Amino acid sequence: MTDMTSDTPHVHGTLLQADARTRKRNAAETRFKFYGILAIAVGLLMLAILLFNIVSRGTGAFTQTFVTLDVALLEDKLDKSGNRDIEEMKKVSTFGYAPLLKAAMTDMVEKTGMEGQISAGDMADILSKGAPAQLRDYVLANPDKVGQQVSFNFLASSRVDGYMKGRVSRDSIANDKSISAEQLDFVDKLIAQGILTKKFNLSFITGADASDARPEAAGMGVAMLGSFFMMLVVLVLALPIGVAASIYLEEFAPKNWITDIIEVNISNLAAVPSIVFGILGLAVFINYMHLPTSAPLVGGLVLTLMTLPTIIISTRASLKAVPPSIRDAALGVGASKMQSVFHHVLPLAAPGILTGTIIGLAQALGETAPLLLIGMVGFIASNAPDGIASGLLAPNSAMPAQIYEWAKRADPAFYERAWGGIIILLVFLLAMNTIAVILRRRFERRW
Amino acid sequence: MGVLQDYETRKQETEMSFVKLATSTFAIAAVAAGAAAARDQVQVAGSSTVLPYASIVAEAFGENFDFPTPVVESGGSSAGLKRFCEGVGENTIDVANASRKIKDSEVEACAANGVTDIIEVQIGYDGIVFASDINGNTFEFTPTDWYKALSDKVVVDGEVVANPYTTWDQVNPAFPAQPIQAFVPGTKHGTREVFEEKVILAGCEESGDFEAFKAANGDDKKAAEKACIALRTDGKSVDIDGDYTETLARIESNADGIGVFGLAFYENNTDKLQVATMSGVTPSTESISTGEYPVSRPLFFYVKKAHIGVIPGLKEYAEFFVSDEIAGPDGPLADYGLVADPELAKTQGVVADEVVMGGAS
């Protein structure tokens, strides 16, 4: 560029007229912006597909088909001695209640004037296998009702429910031995009579898991409690340990190679796959410490190990974000180091700490892999805990483990419930993340 | 001043919450220390094939008795028996479900850990079926077809060669020219053993290749069996280590696939699957109970006798499981797909008298 002033005049284009290089640069920028928008669009599209899939497949689980039926609670079947002694009435098992349902179906057909071409047994088969148990529970809770006629809302069997939801059709049941086309004809008549209806199913949210024979009765409630108790353990252990560790490391610890190693290891711990914590939990908490298997306490302890690094890292970040001038000012007016930390630094860092904790909890809430190894997957979530002790120690499952379990089962009705369970889990995660965002927005101070 | 006051209250709040947290931590620790306390529900683990049946029984048991609903975990027969044999005590499971008989080596492992009195309970039979996409071709298999299609080495013109077949019509001219693509249970499944023994090995013997393998291995019967049941590894036979739902998903995405399922799973998914006959017999609870359908196996559960009387409800659970109402031909287990054991009365006697394996009681 020595001949800048030589005879080829360097034409400076006007600002209004871009030269080739400027146009090229501008084009590159436009392209980059386009790529960025494209990337976001692809991300949003994936999210939309995912959400659409989850919602369209899972909402079915929140409604369920019910049959309203008047059942005569016959004394000679339920309480032969007639003295309403609960212990004696308990001897009649659910199998003893099944004939009442058959009789109730026959009664109903006669009363409504329907022509029943199918047997009483086939009619009763459109009810859930759990109906006799529902009846028995009611009778044992209200022994004085024996001898009377009581109206019940029974769940319909999973095939009938599938028929109402469009999952089951006359073509698809050609080889099915659980339901026949005649039974579907009968179902059609019941729909016309208003006896069989689809309603919101609260027990999906509050109920317990059910066996493979009655997917229609399965619910998420007990597994939700299992998750709740695990989160309680995680919160109670991980928050104080994590915060104490980070305060010491950040504010008090001398900067030497030991603390450096600790720091590196905490960061490494955050990247350890969760299944490793499961194996550790099995080896230490169950095999060595002899804590009970399938217990939310053990699940909580394992998840605590997993959540600790997340909490430590976020706590240290928010402690670092508090400007040194605050500490200096506190020390300057005569506060001890500990006073300066607990009176000034920690309160200012609290929103960041809480945000990190909530995000760590949300992560732990959705974790399945370590729970596989400590026995929280299977037919477990059937007894609702009746207190904190049993909530922590009695066998239970957790929400993601329950979803995994349902997705494995044979009946397609469980598949629908697995998607429904995902919706519940996502609602929880969304709520927790929203709280974290609000906390950060509302309370976090910036300097 | 306002800011200072603000700090003051915040400080107090933080101190308060720290005190609270510390207290709760100690509370948790105390609970944990007392955790080895009594267990009041039956703990079951084992075969995922038996899991649906065990959960149906557990649910009904919880409804009809004052005991809490037993806990049933899956994980496979071998994993269940391993946990079963870990020892005696409340931290070990009471019942192991198995889709095969307990092995001698497992009985020895049990004995080494002090688990000596084991009650073996046979609950019924389970059928293994071959099913493909409902809209695909219909098949009528014989064990020979499966052996020829899936074995690693087959005999062609008297010579042992690597399996040359790629489509079903090469295996048996009666079949359509559909590519061979089989989804079989992985080696950790009890189902795999039955598949190898009752289908592949049976086919190997049926086709006469067994003799050729025996000759090639210097008259060694064991080696010949091993050669028979070794499955091809060129992707035509895929091991499924997950559950039947995974096999189903593979078939849904690959219409040429043929999968190995349990009878109960097939019966719950008849809208997506069509079942193939084996040696001319359609699988059903009836044809399996009469023994016509060849591919079936007994299902078991094993009870630790030392836990009876210690864990409340254990014996009641075992008795309830094999009662006529539950495991009989009209019970809920048969409804779900279990083939009832014709000798159920004998099994009931075994449970009632707590007859342990090995004769001594």
Confidence band of A311 (pLDDT split at 50, 70, 90): very high
> Quick check: do B43-126+297-352 and B127-296 share a fold?
yes
Contact B84, B44 (CB under 8 A): no
> B290: helix, coil or strand?
coil
Question: Per the CB < 8 Å rule, is A378 touching B71?
Answer: yes
Interface membership of B21 toward A (CB under 8 Å): yes
Q: Give the model's pLDDT for residue B219.
A: 81
Amino acid identity at B35 = A
Confidence band of A128 (pLDDT split at 50, 70, 90): very high
Domain check: are A246 and A155 in the same one? no
- What mean pLDDT do residues B52-74 have? 92
Question: Per the CB < 8 Å rule, is B7 touching A90?
Answer: no
The pTM assigned to this predicted structure is: 0.85
Complete DSSP assignment for B245-270: HHHHHHHHH-TT-EEEEEHHHHHH-T
Q: Which of A227, A155, A225 is nearest to A383 (CA)?
A: A225
Asked if residue A429 is part of any domain, the answer here is yes
Asked if residue A4 is part of any domain, the answer here is no
Q: What is the separation, in whole angstroms, between the first and last Cα of chain A? A: 48
Is pLDDT above 60 for A424? yes
Confidence band of A250 (pLDDT split at 50, 70, 90): very high
Question: Per the CB < 8 Å rule, is A233 touching B28?
Answer: yes
Interface membership of B336 toward A (CB under 8 Å): yes
Domain check: are A104 and A253 in the same one? no
pLDDT tens for each residue of A5-44: 445 555 566 777 878 898 899 999 999 999 999 999 999 9
CB atoms within 10 A of CB B96: 28
**CATH number, domain B43-126+297-352:** 3.40.190.10
Q: Which of A134, A168, A201 is the last residue of a domain?
A: A201
Range of the domain at A338: 221-443
Q: Which of A146, A172, A201 is the last residue of a domain?
A: A201
Asked if residue A235 is part of any domain, the answer here is yes
What ipTM was predicted for this assembly?
0.84
Q: Give the model's pLDDT for residue B35.
A: 42
Confidence band of A111 (pLDDT split at 50, 70, 90): confident
Is pLDDT above 70 for A171? yes
Confidence band of B30 (pLDDT split at 50, 70, 90): very low
Asked if residue A9 is part of any domain, the answer here is no
Percent of chain A with pLDDT over 70: 96
**A164-178 residues labelled b (16+ CB within 10 A) or e (exposed):** bbebbeeebbeebeb
CATH topology of domain B127-296: D-Maltodextrin-Binding Protein; domain 2 (3.40.190)
Q: Give the model's pLDDT for residue A44.
A: 97
Question: What is the distance in angstroms between the Cα of B43 and the nearest Cα belonging to chain A?
Answer: 9
Domain check: are A229 and A183 in the same one? no
Question: What is the distance in angstroms between the Cα of B267 and the nearest Cα belonging to chain A?
Answer: 6
Which chain A residues are within 8 Å of B268, Cβ to Cβ?
Answer: 178, 410-412
Angle in degrees, CA A158, A161, A163, rounded to 5: 110
Say how far residue B116 (Cα) sits from the centre of its chain. 24
- What mean pLDDT do residues A223-248 have? 95
Confidence band of B150 (pLDDT split at 50, 70, 90): very high
**A244-260 residues labelled b (16+ CB within 10 A) or e (exposed):** ebbbebbbeeeeeeeee
Percent of chain A with pLDDT over 90: 61
d(CA A101, CA B224): 58
pLDDT tens for each residue of B206-224: 888 888 888 888 888 888 8
For tokens 């809770």, name the residue: A141
| Domain ranges within chain B, ordered by starting residue | 43-126+297-352, 127-296
Strands A196-200 and B296-304: unpaired
Confidence band of B1 (pLDDT split at 50, 70, 90): very low
Percent of chain B with pLDDT over 70: 89
d(CA B281, CA B211): 27
Q: Give the model's pLDDT for residue B9.
A: 53
Q: Give the model's pLDDT for residue B160.
A: 84
Asked if residue A237 is part of any domain, the answer here is yes
Q: Give the model's pLDDT for residue B49.
A: 87
Asked if residue A73 is part of any domain, the answer here is yes
Residue in B14, B64, B73 closest to A94 by CB: B64
- What mean pLDDT do residues B146-161 have? 87
Interface membership of B74 toward A (CB under 8 Å): yes
Q: Give the model's pLDDT for residue A397.
A: 93
pLDDT tens for each residue of B306-357: 999 999 999 999 999 999 999 998 889 998 889 998 889 999 999 999 999 8
Question: Per the CB < 8 Å rule, is B14 touching A347?
Answer: yes
Q: Give the model's pLDDT for residue A7.
A: 55
Q: Give the model's pLDDT for residue A392.
A: 92
Question: Per the CB < 8 Å rule, is A292 touching B14?
Answer: no
Confidence band of A440 (pLDDT split at 50, 70, 90): confident
Q: What is the DSSP letter of A419?
A: H
Q: Give the model's pLDDT for residue B320.
A: 95
Average pLDDT, chain A: 90
Interface membership of B196 toward A (CB under 8 Å): no
Residue in A212, A289, A395 closest to B71 by CB: A395
Question: Per the CB < 8 Å rule, is B52 touching A175?
Answer: no
- What mean pLDDT do residues B62-73 have? 91
The crossing angle, in degrees rounded to 10, of helices A412-443 and A20-58 is 130
Domain check: are A290 and A408 in the same one? yes
Residue in B43, B63, B75 closest to A133 by CB: B63
Contact B151, B236 (CB under 8 A): no
Is pLDDT above 60 for A385? yes
pLDDT tens for each residue of A334-354: 999 999 999 999 999 999 999
Domain check: are A255 and A384 in the same one? yes
- Separation in Å, CA A136 to CA A66, A92, A187, B69: 18, 9, 25, 16
Domain check: are A280 and A368 in the same one? yes
Question: Per the CB < 8 Å rule, is B245 touching A347?
Answer: no
| Structural domain count of chain A | 2
Q: What is the CATH number of the domain that holds A432?
A: 1.10.3720.10
Which chain B residues are within 8 Å of A137, Cβ to Cβ?
Answer: 63
Question: Per the CB < 8 Å rule, is A379 touching B39?
Answer: no
Residue in A175, A212, A236 closest to B336 by CB: A212
Q: Give the model's pLDDT for residue A10.
A: 58
pLDDT tens for each residue of B87-138: 898 888 999 999 888 989 999 999 999 999 999 999 999 899 999 999 999 9
Interface membership of B37 toward A (CB under 8 Å): yes
For tokens 């709740």, name the residue: A228
